[in-house]
Amino acid sequence: MNKKLKGMCTSFLLALFLLAGCGKTKETIYQYEPDIKPLNDSGAESAAETLAQEESAQVQEGLKETEESKETEKTKETEEPKEYDIQLMMVGDNLMHMGIVRTGKQEDGSYNYDFLFTGIEDFLEEAEIKMINQETILGGNHLGFSGFPYFNSPTEVGDAIAGAGFNVVLHASNHAADKQVEGLVNCIEFWTKYPEMTVAGIHGKGDSPIQIMTIDGIDFAILNYTYGPNVETIPEDIQGYMNVLCNYDESTGRMDYTTLHPDVLTDIAEAKEMADVVIVCPHWGTEYTTEPSSYQQKFARQLTEAGADIIIGTHPHVVQPVEWIEGENGNRALCFYSLGNYVSTQKEPLCMLEAMAWVNFHVTEDGISIDKEKTGVVPMVCHYTAGPVRLESVYLLEDYTEEKAASHGIRSYGGVELYLSDLHTWSREVFGENVLTAQQVLAE
């Protein structure tokens, strides 16, 4: 072999040797192999081994810290049980007079009622249980819209209720059967498009009158009853579609408004076995009277003794007091006798004052209780204009002004005066110390 060729071979073998050495050094940075010796005096292999050992130790230490952290969290959870609040809000009669129906008519002839709830958006966002009494039946748009005395309201009202975030709608009112059984069936069918909505008070024949909601592990039973439809005798064909508070003869349909229907007490007792909290919403009382009637008081005691924890009433179109009821058996319930209307275009000034019920449930490992400091009513005012009559909005009483009162449509439409001072006086007289401000309710 000539010298030139021998030199080329030597260079080639040296290059291969160097490439092989460099490749092994790179690998040992990621994977430590104790049987591999250093290739040169630079100490690269030893450094790589040391680095790999350090990284392995760090990984093991990290895993140990993670496990210790998990154990600490488990211990902390065991030592510090969960404690949290659940808020319930409810507004009164969504009473869709024709002036309000027309307010929702759009230029293209469609209907939209999202505006009904723009004044209470913050409260809807804060609460977990959000309830409304839909006073008028959503009996089907094809039947035409009508007001007093036999109502039928656009189903778009229901769309707005669902869109606003309510998750409970009450339908047992004295106007539930205004469009007979057809309207009831149509309304029940309408709500199937919102499966997330709890519908109480009306249902298919044979269905349970007890509705259960589960919020953060707590079961709430919701029951809704009306004293009856606007008839002395309940037609046979609507029996079983609506929950009736007062007793009646099932063979004749004849009403007895002085006696509680026995099924109501049975339902509550059953609900008590199913749920942690039982909420009963009766449609009852004497219209335009701020004091509960003797029958309301009698029924409230019976509902409490049967196991009701919260009673929230509607129907009188005006507000009534809030009080704790104690039954002879020791059971206690918080009773809101009447929240008044939510929206209406009625002509009595007192009908413009209304209430939002607010209940703060406090949950601990020992159970669930009511935080009295954060429970009560938020007074509100329904404001409409006249010429033509149109609903403007619902305002918090604390935000309402004398200027707004002076512009209220009730002055020309109803021919009566509305004064801010009267609204505050009525609120104090009816609610006493049970008034909550927006800051108390919405403060984090």
Contact between 332 and 311 under an 8 Å Cβ cutoff? The reply is no
- 388: amino acid identity, one letter: P
Distance of alpha carbon 364 from the chain centroid = 21
For residue 443, what pLDDT is reported? 81
For residue 167, what pLDDT is reported? 98
For residue 25, what pLDDT is reported? 35
For residue 68, what pLDDT is reported? 64
Where are the chain's structural domains?
A: 3-75, 84-442
- The pTM assigned to this predicted structure is 0.83
Pick the closest to residue 302 from 244, 243, 221, 245 (CA basis): 245
Cα dihedral sign, 439-277-216-135: negative
Whole-number Å distance between alpha carbons of 299 and 325: 11
Residue 166, burial from CB neighbour count under 10 angstroms (0-12, 13-18, 19+): buried
Distance of alpha carbon 436 from the chain centroid = 19
CATH 3.90.550.10 fits 84-442, yes or no: no
Question: From the first residue on, what is the mean pLDDT of each consecutive set of 10 residues in the chain (444 residues)?
Answer: 43 39 34 36 50 62 64 57 93 98 98 97 98 98 98 98 98 97 98 98 96 97 96 92 96 95 98 98 98 98 98 98 96 98 98 98 96 97 98 98 98 97 98 97 83
The token pair that represents 339 in the structure block: 């929240």
Whole-number Å distance between alpha carbons of 273 and 395: 39
